[in-house]
Amino acid sequence: MNTLRGTKVAILVADGFEQVEMVEPRDALEQAGASTYIVSPNERVVQGWNHFDKGDHFDVDVVLNQANADDFDALLLPGGVVNPDTLRVIPEAVSFVRRINEQRKPIAAICHGPWLLINADVVRGCQLTSWSSIKTDLINAGAKWVDKPTVLDGNILTSRNPKDIPQFNEVMIQLFTSIVNKAA
């Protein structure tokens, strides 16, 4: 399956991302032919977490302050509590997400990942889902929150938690394929 051949996907993470929410979607993207790039404020490696326990280290492909949204076709935002809470106060991360959205490129965010979408001011008027603890934050930012495994609104796909990853991956591949093919 090479529906995403030639597609460059940025995976924006800081230390503390939920490892399964990065690894499984990344693997699905690569199986579909996409090239994935870990973008991080860290210079060399970034550390995943498995719930409350530290997980594996992953090489950083592009340091955030050198990342250009124009160089990517799509964006994946894994969750974990620490990861998006760290990223949402980094101006370069916020502007990277905002620029991807301004270009109507697809964005897929899972669990706590939509926290960063709030700071990028891209949720107002959108229908989204997330980990339930950030429901009120999304509503207060102008989103309509629903409790479904995946919610697709325009170019933004959101999902609730790791149990939803199979459905998330399926919809993410469809979204990325449809938007990237339109641009070609």
Active-site residue flag, 111: yes
Residue pair 121/142 in contact by the 8 Å Cβ criterion: no
Segment 61-112, tens digit of pLDDT:
999 999 999 999 999 999 999 999 999 999 999 999 999 999 999 999 999 9
Active-site pick, 51, 57, 112, 126: 112
Q: Give the pLDDT confidence score for residue 183 in this predicted structure.
A: 62
- Report phi then psi at 118, rounded to 5: -60, -50
Question: What are the pLDDT digits (tens) for 127-184?
Answer: 999 999 999 999 999 999 999 999 999 999 999 999 999 999 999 999 999 876 666 5
112 counts as catalytic: yes
For β-strands 150-153 and 156-159, DSSP reports them as antiparallel
Positive or negative torsion for Cα 167, 170, 174, 177: positive
Give pLDDT, residue 181: 67
For β-strands 62-63 and 74-77, DSSP reports them as: unpaired
Q: Is 34 helix (H, G, I), strand (E, B) or coil?
A: coil
- Superfamily of domain 8-183 in the CATH hierarchy: Class I glutamine amidotransferase (GATase) domain (3.40.50.880)
State the pLDDT at residue 173.
97
Q: For residue 93, which of 61, 115, 126, 123 has the smallest C-alpha distance?
A: 115
Give residue 179's pLDDT: 75
Closest CA to 55 of 25, 93, 84, 83: 83
In tens, the pLDDT along 20-65 reads 999 999 999 999 999 999 999 999 999 999 988 999 999 999 999 9
